[in-house]
Structure 1
Amino acid sequence: MIVAIVSGAALAATSVVGVVAWREYQARAEAPSAVDVAGAGDEIDGDHVVFRNTASGSGYGHIARVPLSDPEGARVVDSVACDRVDATDVEFSCLRIERGIVPSYSATLYSRQGDQLEQWPLPGIPSRTRISADGALVATTSFVTGHSYATVGFSTETVIRTADGESMGNLEEWTLIVDGAASTPQDRNFWGVTFVDDTTFYATVGLTASEATYLVRGDIPARTLTTLAENVECPSVSPDGTRVAFKRVTSGSGAAVRWTPAIYDLATGEVTVLPEPRSIDDQIEWLDDDTILYGMPREGAVGDTDVWQLAADGASDPTVFIEHAWSPSVVRSGP
């Protein structure tokens, strides 16, 4: 009887805590947004930036858009909530954590208007997504185990799919070529796909045995991945196709690792480490051929982030590009 009474009291207390937490969440979600939001029905034409809105209040976690010419202006907030996003002018890829007693994870391809085109499950926490320029291919990376690239023993699944959801298989099943020879099968993880076109892409491979990471070039028709350079993570190919922006380990290891943005010249192999004093854990996006973008946590504000910009030649210090934003995707409407 005592056990039953204690258990009942504990269950009641847990229920009360859950109800209170839910009401607080609802209150925050229904509060006015902390940023200037465009009116209902407003659209953004022309070049713009798609991102995850992290401003407190209504629309937190939802997809938002601002004109490229006015990134600090009023943002159009969509009804779709995502944890990671990438977009073209006609569609966007949304990775989402379905929060609940038992969380689930999914990837959804939407039209520009927010209509669901395709959806498939993910095995774990969403990490990265990219769409090819013509929208024909979608890449997703999620954690099978772990929740960060600084976690010891993390495991990922990276898959490229066609726009109708057809899978090309986990990249771990493709042939990895190291120093001109096919690599002996071993524990390896791939992440951070960036498309050149519908036949070629770049990505990261991490080898568990040596703890080394490499930039790889993927050949889709041949299903091969060839290593190009060491200590390269989360690559992003420049609009002109001549360089790859990435994050590089510059100090520490494990949970204390420090990642610094850098630029790899594909023709010469030269690496330029950029002047960013903080550690970044994001897949870089190119604003144009001269400037990169990346998300950074906002100091002292849990769950809030900003998108920063930095000159690709390292000639200037980083500055805020969009406040209360994450996972930026630059969308250009013209050729």
Structure 2
Amino acid sequence: MTSRTRLIVLLAAVAVLGCVGFASVLHASKRAGERDRSQPGGPSIAQGTVTLDGGKQMIFRNMAWGPYRDDLVSVSVTDPGGARTAAPVRCLRFYAAAGTGVCLGKVDGALGESYYAAILDSRLRTLREYPVAGIPSRARVAPSGHLAAWTVFVGGDSYAGSQFSTRTSILDLRTWTLTPSLETYTIVKDGRPYHAADMNFWGVTFADDEHFYATMATKGQTHLVRGDVAARTMTTVRPNVECPSLAPDGTRLVFKKRVPGLSPDAPWRLYALDLRTMRETPLAESRSVDDQVVWADDGTVLYGLAGDFGDDLWSVPADGTGRPVRVAVAALNPAFAG
């Protein structure tokens, strides 16, 4: 190769590298611009600091399409539809209480997708991470922050289907003792020990550090069960209860109930259950809600419904009065800090 040829090759290489560098800068600039712009008609989002003890904040999974899709974001509880602050933590399911969070996430690998449960501290830093056996479905933390629970699908993809299987785990954060599956608990059904190969459990809601409620499915029917962590037992309470959520005062549950005559694809209505009288009250939400509600306060629950930019967050009174109100667009799995 002559000196002239070598010079031409060198100049061509420099030109190519210059183009690549310019394109990279242009791409980065464009992405930065995207991160500064909100989705048309969607919420305003900017990256910042999000903590679980940062005052009166609501934290949830952002469902708006764009660079912050699935990130955890915070908003003021007084303006839940306002500007969002995004954290670099991505979750498919999320919940938090007393400065402890649980994040169910996904990893895309060479052999396909895998899923995990991460325990987060108040600054959303991962304390420990556990592999899970399937697609994330539900997550909860006890009011004290000492216990966490999560449910994943290990077969099928919907509670509405006739064939699915779940795995529900409980973790004691004080000792890092993991119960991988509630199927290892002793079941008491209608006053007698019960076991069946088709038992499934999901939708844990904690009363305290010793007791919880959940859903058990067997023989084509669902049941509300009350669990005892120390005794490792669950006792049936009532049929046709799914995804219970215990009120802050511990006196009521709001749950989704299958109502005869509705479409198999949208079979649920929200009900409140008085745990003293066992009286059920239908809530004022007439649409089918496939979610485990979150209590915003002693009288209001939040839940997700499909919207224009992903699931939207709605609220309704827990006593059967009032009407549903959309709280925030493109939002899911709320929890409260402060």
The TM tier, using the shorter chain, reads: 0.7 to 0.9
Q: CA deviation digits over 1:32-86, x for unaligned, max 9?
A: 3322235634778322211100122221110011121221222111100000000
1:273 aligns with 2:295: no
1:66 aligns with 2:75: yes
TM-score, normalization by structure 2: 0.84
Aligned equivalents of 1:219 and 1:89: distance in 2? Answer: 21
1:167 aligns with 2:175: no
Task: State the AA in 2 paired with 1:322.
Answer: A
1:152 aligns with 2:162: yes
Give the C-alpha shift of residue 328 in structure 1: 1.2
Equivalent in the alignment of 2:104:
95
Structure number with bigger Rg: 2
Give runs of aligned pairs for residues 316-331 of structure 1, distance below 5 A.
316-331=322-337
Aligned equivalents of 1:87 and 1:296: distance in 2? Answer: 21
- Which of 82, 88, 110 is the matching residue for 1:79? 88
- Which of 249, 260, 268 is the matching residue for 1:259? 268
Preserved CA contact (<8 Å) 1:152 1:254: no
Equivalent in the alignment of 2:313:
307
Aligned equivalents of 2:33 and 2:191: distance in 1? Answer: 54
Aligned equivalents of 2:264 and 2:134: distance in 1? Answer: 20
Aligned equivalents of 1:139 and 1:29: distance in 2? Answer: 39
Give runs of aligned pairs for residues 93-242 of structure 1, distance below 5 A.
93-100=102-109, 102-163=112-173, 165-207=176-218, 209=219, 211-242=220-251
Residues 1:254 and 1:277: Cα distance change in structure 2 (over 3 Å): closer
Task: State the AA in 2 paired with 1:194.
Answer: T
1:249 aligns with 2:255: no
Task: State the AA in 2 paired with 1:125.
Answer: I
Task: State the AA in 2 paired with 1:198.
Answer: D
Residues 1:162 and 1:79: Cα distance change in structure 2 (over 3 Å): same
Equivalent in the alignment of 2:14:
none
Equivalent in the alignment of 1:5:
none
Give the C-alpha shift of residue 110 in structure 1: 1.2
Task: State the AA in 2 paired with 1:37.
Answer: I
Give the C-alpha shift of residue 257 in structure 1: 4.1
SS at match of 1:278: coil
The alignment yields a C-alpha RMSD, in angstroms, of 2.2
Task: State the AA in 2 paired with 1:157.
Answer: R
Q: CA deviation digits over 1:164-185, x for unaligned, max 9?
A: 5421241111111111111133
Preserved CA contact (<8 Å) 1:126 1:143: yes
Give identity over the alignment, percent.
39
Give the C-alpha shift of residue 106 in structure 1: 0.5
TM-score, normalization by structure 1: 0.85
Residue ranges of structure 1 left out of the alignment (5+ in a row): 1-22
Residues 1:162 and 1:92: Cα distance change in structure 2 (over 3 Å): same
